[in-house]
Chains A and B, each alone.
Chain A
Amino acid sequence: MFEDYIFPGLIILLQSVALLVALLVFTAFILYADRKVWAAVMSRRGPNVVGPFGLLQSFADLLKFVIKEPIIPSGSNKGIFLLAPLISSALALAGWAVIPVSEGWAIASINVGILFVFAVSSLEVYGVIMAGWASNSKYPFLGALRSAAQMVSYEVSIGFVIVTVLLCVGSLNMTDIVLSQKDGLGTHLGLTNSLLDWHWLGLFPMFVIFFISALAETNRPPFDLVEAESELVAGHMIEYSSTPYLLFMLGEYIAILLMCALTVILFLGGWLPPLDIAPFNWIPGVFWFIFKLCMVFFMFAMVKTIVPRYRYDQLMRLGWKVFLPISLFMVIATAAFLKFTGLA
């Protein structure tokens, strides 16, 4: 009994807690980084009061949110109102269960890992919808309406992008996806196990589409119409305060990190070093993973600062009339290429 169930159970629990803590701390600094980047582009200082260089700003915010009084509107549907932020953050965290941060460093290395992440990210829309409906107010509901259409639309192209990558890999396991990137275009060019082997080069259009769709899927600017402050005040989060609001913010940022991690795994070689030579391959894979994650997040942050928000019809046009045909074509083209060159 002990050896069969309790001991493995405890190990999984410990691993989960360790990942959770690491992730939350990481998120705190990512939030800080986001604000700093944003401020720097605008020639402001950004958070600089709490702690050295304002490094502890996120923790101060956390404390502030937690000790505030949660306000629940009287006309709201209380149960769903409180459930929404929980679902939002729990789902975002659940996605991390299958992400391998280094070889063998995943809590669950399941066969259909990529599908699991895709499923989790497609379920995230429920947090927004439930919040929008339960608030019983028109701005949140409009925000929820927009988000449902937006997230469902962009999932389609994300799905096709993932399919193209899977065609090249031949497995749905995240670790296999990373390991398959040891051998690719770069190897054919003579640079074995290098950054040229990763999928971003071979599938460059897909990489771009995935990056933009990831922005839309996580409601990041320039696609943050769900909470466009100039029209909807704060979208589905208007009526939220205190800890529930914190959970929404947390869920949002962890979902963003999840998408960054997915970008790293699908296109940027996961934990693999950029060149398989002396100083690079000494560094443990997990650092490469985190480094790449930060780089992708930096791109997310830069997009937020320099691209103006899309109008809703433009967003829908981009998703359905541009990305969908291109990604559909790329699926066919990639499959045909692999078939006729005999690579698959």
Chain B
Amino acid sequence: MTVVELTQSLNIAAPELALAVGSMVLLMIGVFAPKDSANSTVTGLAVALLIGVLGWMVFFDEQGTAFGGAFVQDAFAYFFKILTLVGSIVALVMSVGFAREEKFDRFEFPILIILATLGMMLMISATSLLSLYMALELQSLALYVIAAINRDSARSTEAGLKYFVLGALSSGMMLYGISLVYGFTGHVGFTEIAAALTGQERSVGLLFGLAFLLTGLAFKISAVPFHMWTPDVYEGAPTPVTAFFAAAPKMAAMAMLVRVVTDAFGTVTGDWQQIIIFISIASMALGAVAAIGQNNIKRLMAYSSIGHMGYALVGLAAGTVAGVQGVLVYMAIYLAMTLGTFAFILAMRRKDEGNVESINDLAGYAQNNPLQATVLTILMFSLAGIPPLAGFWGKWYVFLAAVEAGLYPLAIIGVVASVVGAFYYLRIIKIMWFDEPESKFVSAAGELRLVMGLSGIFVVGFIVFGGPIAAYAENAAKALF
């Protein structure tokens, strides 16, 4: 690689570069700042850095491949990177109040968020199995630490440990898959793999490799049957961390999954389609059924996110531009709904008890705070997929793509699952509006109310501005085909 190529590559990867350098600068600031203000200084600067990078991504459109084909910046990457950055920024902003109340003031937390975000952005842009794996490890390692960051809480530590052990196992399986794919195609680059796969008879070994690769990826988006860690980790980790886990990493992992199967294995659609269909059905079913018995709202959100990943995969299973477009739209809507819901969960705070997590604590929310209860109700309706809210449109796009691709059973199962799944969202609404009031929550912090409001507006207004988003998503999806 010549110096000129390297400079061009760095230019293309400027947002990632800014995050990498910025995280190190922030680390230095955190170490040398006065101890009592280190956390707030670093958090503020971290948010500023992330917003700066987001602005850069929005206003500068520097596309191309870099680093000898290991990294690509295309419309698809832009779409998912913007989602990821939004997820990280909102999660970080929402953590401020929590950190103040719970004495959770480690300046490393925002830095780890930035590093995890860097890993995610690299994952989204990875066009080689090597860079994919390394970016994934960068992201995962940061997430393991973030999950366990509240060392004084046994649950947080347990969550971190559980996530680490299972995550390491899935990484191992994925690596095994990668080595098989490399062994049978002779390449790690996606385009080279795709080229090697055209027109030749595929071996069993390659299928094994593909299956192992998908196993690892399915773990990262917590799709059934590799979802076991999700409820425990969501429940154990501090709530802002859970909000982060439910938002940004899901975007990156889904982007990676989509890119791998369409880019590297786009010529062997039949081989991965059945796996994706199975994972999708299983996730939708489990997400709908298992959430019914949950009383802890974080656990419930965990099952909810498993289900949503299943719906998103319906679009991927279609394997068409429309399908991938559906995935993109679905993920954008999922992000908005999840962040909004977690703003409410973070606001579930009583003066004497601190943060509460039981669904029954929401009883009488409507009497105590009708405005917020209304917004939460709208979010719940949207999560359940009631028209004309955003959640409905997300499902509309993916199911439509599945039907167009001839996957009728998949679409039907999806609709049935969303009807079943609507039950537990409606249960929350029932508890809020019709159960006897409990004591009031303390009034929510300003940043939480902002997030609630924004996600409410997004969910309601999607019918108005959904068109441009869908068009942008279609443009992004075309970059892959």
Direct contact of A and B (CB under 8 A): no
Question: Chain B residues in contact with chain A, CB under 8 A?
Answer: none
